[in-house]
Structure 1
């Protein structure tokens, strides 16, 4: 059995050429599967990164040929693609002194 070390958001960000905060946001929104080590540290399994990349490739290639894929359409061979909108965040109010 080979143990594959989980990746940090910084490692995933370096691989994708984006910021670590973007990776954390993907995890928070549930778009990328991640887990916590303790109460603060986030980690991502390499297979979750590969799965996310495959989904992006499928969505990207389908979107150029079929407009329904960007609207949450499905493909017969790949299953269903579901897009969801996140709820708008309300600004936090500071407590009165």
Structure 2
């Protein structure tokens, strides 16, 4: 099976966040990536999984190492919500 490769848009859709959030993670170095043709940003599936695993709060992890996708989705959503809350607003003040 070929490794999964995500574009910024597909990863944002998968995580339920904006592409700006993904670009911020890439720019900060928190989410390793590579570029196609020197411009297109791509993120390997194993890097996504690594990010999701290290971003999960320890109190949210079940005692066993095999946990359901629901808990994983909940933990990912909590991490993404915290990241979004930290993002400075880019809207112009009126």
**Is 1:48 paired with 2:50?**
no
- 1:25: which partner in 2? 24
Which digits, 9 at most, give the CA deviation of each residue in 1:9-52, with x for residues without a partner?
Answer: 11111111101121011011100011111121000000000000
Which structure has more relative contact order (CA 8 Å, sep 6+)? It is: 2
Q: Does 1:61 align with 2:31?
A: no
Cα root mean square deviation, aligned: 1.7
How far has the Cα of 1:61 moved from its partner?
2.2
Are the structure 2 counterparts of residues 55 and 16 from structure 1 closer, same or farther at C-alpha, using a change threshold of 3 Å?
same
Rg: which structure is higher?
1
More helix as a share of residues: 2
Could you list the runs of 5+ residues in structure 2 that have no partner in the other structure?
60-94
Q: How far off is 1:5 after superposition? A: 3.9
**How does the TM-score come out when normalised to structure 1?**
0.56
Runs of 4+, deviation exceeding 2 Å: none
